[in-house]
Amino acid sequence: AQKVTQAQTEISVVEKEDVTLDCVYETRDTTYYLFWYKQPPSGELVFLIRRNSFDEQNEISGRYSWNFQKSTSSFNFTITASQVVDSAVYFCALSEASGGSNYKLTFGKGTLLTVNP
Amino acid sequence: DGGITQSPKYLFRKEGQNVTLSCEQNLNHDAMYWYRQDPGQGLRLIYYSQIVNDFQKGDIAEGYSVSREKKESFPLTVTSAQKNPTAFYLCATKGPRVSSGNTIYFGEGSWLTVV
């Protein structure tokens, strides 16, 4: 069975601080995908990034960066110089890619990030 | 305007009534999903459909029903058998694995409240 754990329920920072959201996953599959989604107060889930299990290269997109480490089964998300508009709930998710289960996206419970001015 | 459209955004239901949430997509994606979101519990899969005229139960299908008569549409009915239906419901689609790597895209969601 697959599982995603986001241990941080809520994080509060002051604008311009850097913040890291943790994500730890469990899967028996050797091929899988990891995702981060952002859910602003409006409710829609916004896709941020997808990584496959064969690509451990870290990725940077503007103020966002992701650190994927298979050795620790972690896929952490860092926001540099946070802004008020970054306030949202962030979800980490896992999708196995083999067999008949490649349909299913398993979510963590989310981390509520509040960036204060 | 492309994407996934859910309606209504807000819906109030009296106990004992069935209600249907609409989900329409123009992304030409084969797979469609319904998730339920409750505070502090993340998202849970209700039903999914990988192709027209076929659908499968997810983790919490009891009290819900779906149909997939057209590729573009995947409506969800919340029946009176669903004991605690008040929640936020999200419809999603998935593109081809080769091009999108199992990425799932979401609609804006529908809030259902039982009164």
Task: Return the amino acid letter for B112.
Answer: L
- Cβ distance A43 to B88 less than 8 Å, yes or no, reads yes
What integer pLDDT is reported at residue A7 of this predicted model? 95
Residue B96 pLDDT > 80, yes or no?
no
- Residues from chain B that touch A110, judged by Cβ atoms under 8 A, are 42
Q: Angle CA(A101)–CA(B83)–CA(B4) in degrees, nearest 5?
A: 50
Rounded to the nearest angstrom, the minimum Cα separation between B79 and chain A is 23
Task: Determine which helix (DSSP H) or strand (DSSP E) holds B98, and give its type and residue range.
Answer: helix B97-100
| Residue B42 C-beta-side C-alpha neighbours within 13 Å | 22
What integer pLDDT is reported at residue B39 of this predicted model? 79
- pLDDT band of B15, cuts 50, 70, 90: confident
Q: Where is mean pLDDT largest: A45-59, A98-112, B25-39?
A: B25-39
Residue A88 pLDDT > 80, yes or no?
yes
What integer pLDDT is reported at residue B100 of this predicted model? 67
B88 touches chain A (CB under 8 A): yes
- Cβ distance B31 to A103 less than 8 Å, yes or no, reads yes
Q: Percentage of residues in chain A with pLDDT exceeding 90?
A: 69
Average pLDDT over chain A, rounded to an integer: 90
Task: Return the amino acid letter for B7.
Answer: S
Q: How far is CA B67 from CA A67, B29, B54, in A?
A: 40, 16, 8
